[in-house]
């Protein structure tokens, strides 16, 4: 495969409902779509999941645009001027080229994944098969943002359970945690339930966090600080609820250390947070080796990212339902057609797609586009 051209598009898409987390409110989805064109006419797509503000990680859509335009794309163009990518193993070259640049995994992920997507398109290889996936269908849970009151939350949960979602995840924080979980258990009994704290607590809260042990939660996600694997290890030894690490795990090396310390019993893998398919697969493999189940978290992706998440979730270690809900939940008009929909309640099909390009709607990319940059490979 020879890369001919790389296009960066910045989009602003209207969300159906504002998405509220302990970090703030998002009204529009800001997204960068990376397109990789090959000399044979194959096109690969991927999206950058960095948001408007640096709350989930330090990256934003604007910093990612800068990193991609000024560093990452030029570095890949330089490589592509002299090299073809003719085998699976050579895709690792993209990770290698980007690794001297520090941080910025979401920007890196978008570029690496677009190249991988183009490679699968060019070689007519289903993405999930290329990744080593084994599932034809995946179970899906739902992540519910902070709600104005308990009644609204319970109504939403009721609706999602009726639609068939296989697991409910709610956001918690000091002042809206134990009572929220108790109310859900009272209303819905023994449903698969987990909570996400997005680092809202410290180790001083251990006695409080221990109270969650009474509720049989599937897991508690990221209770403590992002950079604090050590205290997560202490906490995990003091509570029964399995801790799931999200923000703390950015690489297979992080996963190895966290598992070694006993800091978690589950890991949430997000392609953007970890830098793309290569690192996500490496984290998955470390976890599988150590018997740590993983699942695929969501970042309010458009259909493009959603399809990639589904393909990743076909890997054997993805034991728990992921956050990849059908697209219609978030966007009036998604970037793909047909949209991602349940094949039966709570389940999505892992379609044998050779890259996501066959599903992307160019007119919808144009509709939401606010900026574009095109980069050509100058062949030596
Ligand atoms: Mg999380």
pLDDT digits (tens, 9 = 90+) for 245-291: 999 999 999 999 999 999 999 999 999 999 999 999 999 999 999 99
pLDDT higher than 90, residue 123: yes
CA of 23 to the centre of ligand 1 (A): 11
Cβ proximity of 261 and 231 under 8 Å: no
Q: How far apart are CA 267 and CA 292, in angstroms?
A: 7
Q: Residue 186: which residues within 8 A CB-CB, separation 6 or more?
A: none
Q: Predicted confidence band at 238 (pLDDT cuts at 50, 70, 90)? A: very high
CA of 367 to the centre of ligand 1 (A): 31
pLDDT higher than 80, residue 358: yes
Residues with CB under 5 A from ligand 1 (ion): 196, 221, 246
What's the pLDDT at 330?
A: 80
Q: Predicted confidence band at 370 (pLDDT cuts at 50, 70, 90)? A: very high
CA of 223 to the centre of ligand 1 (A): 9
pLDDT higher than 90, residue 234: yes
CA of 293 to the centre of ligand 1 (A): 16
Lowest mean pLDDT among 44-58, 297-311, 322-336: 322-336
CA of 276 to the centre of ligand 1 (A): 17
- Measured CA distances, 194 to 86, 140, 322, 323 (Å): 43, 13, 12, 12
Q: How far apart are CA 239 and CA 226, in angstroms?
A: 19
One of 171, 257, 281, 367 is an active-site residue; which one? Answer: 171
What's the pLDDT at 18?
A: 79
Active site residue 29: no
Active site residue 171: yes
Cβ proximity of 315 and 132 under 8 Å: yes
Over the chain, what is the mean pLDDT? 95
Tally of residues, the chain: 380
What's the pLDDT at 20?
A: 66
């Amino acid at each position: 495969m020879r890369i001919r051209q790389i296009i960066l598009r910045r989009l602003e898409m209207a969300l159906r409902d504002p998405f509220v987390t302990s970090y703030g409110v998002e009204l529009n989805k800001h997204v960068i779509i990376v397109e990789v064109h090959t000399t044979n006419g194959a096109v690969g797509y991927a999206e950058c999941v960095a948001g408007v503000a640096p709350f989930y990680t330090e990256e934003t859509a604007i910093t990612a645009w800068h990193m991609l335009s000024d560093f990452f794309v030029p570095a890949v163009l330089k490589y592509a001027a002299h090299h073809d990518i003719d085998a699976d193993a050579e895709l690792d070259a993209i990770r290698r080229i980007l690794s001297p640049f520090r941080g910025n995994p979401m920007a890196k992920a978008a570029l690496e994944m677009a190249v991988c997507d183009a490679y699968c398109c060019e070689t007519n290889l289903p993405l999930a098969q290329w990744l080593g996936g084994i599932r034809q269908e995946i179970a899906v849970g739902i992540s519910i943002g902070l709600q104005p009151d308990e009644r609204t939350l319970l109504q939403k949960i009721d609706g999602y359970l009726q639609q068939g979602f296989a697991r409910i995840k709610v956001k918690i924080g000091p002042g809206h945690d134990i009572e929220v979980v108790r109310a859900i258990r009272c209303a819905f009994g023994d449903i698969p339930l987990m909570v996400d704290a997005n680092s809202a607590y410290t180790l001083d809260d251990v006695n409080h966090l221990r109270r969650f042990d009474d509720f049989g939660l599937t897991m508690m996600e990221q209770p403590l600080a992002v950079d604090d694997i050590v205290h997560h290890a202490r906490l995990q030894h003091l509570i029964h609820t399995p801790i799931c690490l999200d923000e703390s795990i950015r690489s297979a090396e992080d996963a190895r250390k966290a598992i070694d310390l006993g800091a978690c019993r589950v890991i949430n893998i997000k392609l953007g947070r970890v830098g793309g398919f290569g690192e996500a697969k490496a984290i998955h493999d470390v976890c599988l080796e150590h018997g740590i189940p993983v699942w695929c978290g969501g970042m309010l992706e458009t259909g493009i990212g959603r399809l990639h998440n589904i393909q990743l979730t076909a890997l054997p270690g993805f034991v728990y339902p992921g956050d990849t809900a059908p697209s219609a939940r978030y966007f009036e008009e998604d970037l793909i057609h047909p949209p991602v929909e349940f094949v039966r309640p709570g389940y999505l099909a892992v379609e044998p797609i050779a890259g996501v390009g066959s599903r992307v709607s160019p007119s919808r990319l144009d509709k939401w586009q606010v900026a574009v940059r095109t980069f050509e490979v100058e062949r030596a």
